[in-house]
Chain A
Amino acid sequence: MRPVLVLVEGAERDGGASAAGGADGAVRASAFRLLTLARRLGDPVAVVCHPVAAYGVDALARFGAARICVAEPADPDGKDTAAQSAVALEALTELAWQMDASAVLVPSGRLGREVAARLAVRLGGGIVTGAVDVRPGPDGPVAVQEVCGGTYRVESAVRGGTPVIAVDTGAGEAEPDPVDPVVERMFVSVAESSRRVRRLARRPKADRRPGVAGASVVVAGGRGVGSAEGFTLIEKVADALGGAVGGTHTAADRGWCPQDALIGQTGAVVHPRLYLACGISGSVHHRAGMHHAATIVAIDTDPDAPIFRIADVGVVGDLHDVLPALLAAIARQRAAERGGPTP
């Protein structure tokens, strides 16, 4: 079988929330889903473009990475994110040609898409983004996408010598298949066009609540919330559930919630365990950012709102009444669990 390349994303140097383990040398869990899909298409080769520790290698091997290529820049000048994508681009290009890979799978985030875009131009084959599933077809891989905010499933054959597929790794499960890996090192020289992007500064944002990216619970508000003051109710519910605050385009536009809380096609795409949509009708824009949530709960006054078509639980009612009652109900339940008096 021909090799299938998988781009492994590393944990940020200072440990991002979505990083497995959160420490240096760890690999992101997206790689495990990619390896699971790659095994269906051929022999998986994991391509790592950051320093990886032994436990990172072990984790990849658990999901079937029989070959692991660790790529480093030949001139050790760039260690920032821009450089990580530059190294990934060179390594994947070289390996795809050298091994005559049958496909390249990358995670669908910003880094993955940027690498996929430039790689596809170099390899000249098909490119698909946001694939929720990939399987072998008669003439190369078949990718499944959900389009128009999850309304349609589209299956495309991805042609060309080495097609490039960016996978929405949150949309499916990773299945282990342990192997003994061979680990190789390679050195790549980065293209001039990547080297010219210079990082001037990197500083933390000051924020106390978890951000929407990587949050396991998201409480989001839309037009129905009505005002910035109304959003304090959304914040209270988010804090009670230990979740992040999200908002629709309308909410972010009007300054009811911060711009970085925007969820949707032009904002964040989230995969929480629980998504609580409050006063959100469910436009395509918004659904594109949240329809992969494991459980969607919608509260809206309009029983015909499109959000109810993708919700697991729908509450038809005014959020200004339902949310305070929900806060009280949760407090009562928690008190009962502790065996204390119910308020």
Chain B
Amino acid sequence: MKLVVLVKHVPDEIVDRPSSAAVFAADMTVDRAQLTGRLSEADEYAVEQAMRIARRRLDVQITAVTMGPPEAIRTLTRALALGADEGVHIVDEALHGSDAQATSRVLAAALARCGFDLVICGVASTDSGMSVVPAMVAERLGVPSVCEADGVWADPGWADGDVIVARREDGDHVEDFAVPMPAVVSVTDRVGEPRYPAFQAIVEARQKTVRTWSLANLRIPADEVGLAASASPVRRVAPHAARRPALLVDGEPDAAAARLARHLTEHQLI
């Protein structure tokens, strides 16, 4: 069974930068050169979900795929340390500034090239967090998808063996879905905490195979992706006026709490 995990390289923490110049570059994209990157947290759960499937059956091969700048190799190495068997790095200067359309197109092409039974994604990247790439990839590949699953099972005992079962919460209900493979799922952090990789696994990760593909390798014309082809060009970025609290209370707890309770009552909040 071929599992592919889509992993994104994201800037570490971009919120507490003093000005937008430190976060956004002149072309109004996130200035990744100024920020250190890492494997998007949501995608660590995707790798963990793949590992949970792999621990229950013997025939599983896990490929981690990322589309990202040269530094994104760090993200792949991390995914390999967390348990993926091999990596694919799609890197091409022309991809800078790609929108969700271009990203899903490139990822779908890579999946078509490497083949898959099940694609596992994170729910949302920690930088732009659109939560659309998994379903867009599925649509391009013409396969079913279950987004935001809280758990996925692909046990050989199930039905014909080529069906996965995905569970997710819907308001105050829990739902189980059966989906024939090939399919795409995105998983939440309820699938379970990723195991912290042992030192041995980190060392071994450097020995695993990483294939590097360019746009030409995927037969995608460079002028159809990237910033210039973006269908949602950013016109303006402005820091949202950082407002100080309208009311700041400190001092002795009883007095502070009484002040707070009065404020909440006056504003009819309680």
Interface of A toward B, CB cutoff 8 Å: 12, 14, 16-18, 81-82, 110, 113-114, 116-118, 120-122, 124-130, 142-143, 146-160, 163, 166, 193-194, 196-205, 207, 211, 213-214, 217, 241, 249, 252-253, 259-260, 262, 265-267, 273-274, 283-285, 287-288, 295, 297-298, 303, 306, 308-318, 321-323, 325-326, 328-330, 332-333
Contacts and interface: CB of A to CB of B under 8 A. Distances in A.
B231 A241 contact: no
B100 A155 contact: no
Nearest to B147: A114
Given A12-B171, A196-B144, A127 B232 contact: yes
Contacts of B126: 265, 284-285
Contacts of B174: 201-205
Nearest to A206: B172
Contacts of B232: 126-128, 143, 156-159, 163
Nearest to A216: B269
B157 interface: no
Contacts, number: 273
A274 B15 contact: no
A311 B246 CA distance: 8
Interface string B181-207: 000000011100100000000000000
8 contacts: A120-B132, A127-B130, A143-B232, A155-B235, A157-B235, A205-B174, A287-B15, A313-B247
A312 B179 CA distance: 46
Contacts of B251: 317
Contacts of A211: 171-172
Given A198-B178, A274-B270, A325-B253, A121 B136 contact: yes
Interface residues of B, number: 89
Contacts of A146: 240
Interface centre among B237, B264, B267 (most CB of A within 10 A): B264
A329 B41 CA distance: 40
A317 B245 contact: no
A333 B258 CA distance: 9
A120 B99 CA distance: 12
B223 interface: no
B23 A152 contact: yes
Given A142-B235, A159-B233, A285-B126, A110 B172 contact: no
B253 A308 contact: no
A110 B179 contact: no
Given A127-B231, A157-B233, A326 B189 contact: no
Q: What is the interface of chain B mostly: helix, strand, loop, or mixed?
A: mixed
A108 to B, nearest CB: 9
A81 B175 contact: yes
B261 interface: yes
B55 interface: no
A202 B233 contact: no
Contacts of B140: 121
A128 B238 CA distance: 18
B242 interface: yes
Contact of A314 (B148, B193, B247): B247
Contact of B234 (A81, A155, A303, A306): A155
B135 A117 contact: yes
B263 A313 contact: yes
Contacts of B219: none
B139 A122 contact: yes
B168 to A, nearest CB: 9
B211 interface: no
A199 B239 contact: no
Q: What is the interface of chain A mostly: helix, strand, loop, or mixed?
A: mixed
Contacts of B171: 12, 16-18, 211, 213-214
A78 to B, nearest CB: 12
B142 A273 contact: no
User: Lowest 7 A-B CB distances belong to which pairs?
Assistant: A126-B231, A325-B257, A117-B135, A321-B253, A329-B261, A314-B245, A316-B250
A311 B193 CA distance: 31
A283 B128 CA distance: 15
B235 A283 contact: no
A312 B20 CA distance: 23
A289 to B, nearest CB: 10
Nearest to A125: B231
Contacts of B101: 120-121, 124, 126-127
A151 B263 contact: no
Interface string B107-132: 00000000000000011101011111
A284 B130 contact: no
B139 A329 contact: no
B176 A152 contact: no
Contact of A113 (B132, B179, B263): B132
B237 A153 contact: yes
A121 B134 CA distance: 12
B264 A297 contact: yes
Nearest to A282: B15
A160 B100 CA distance: 13
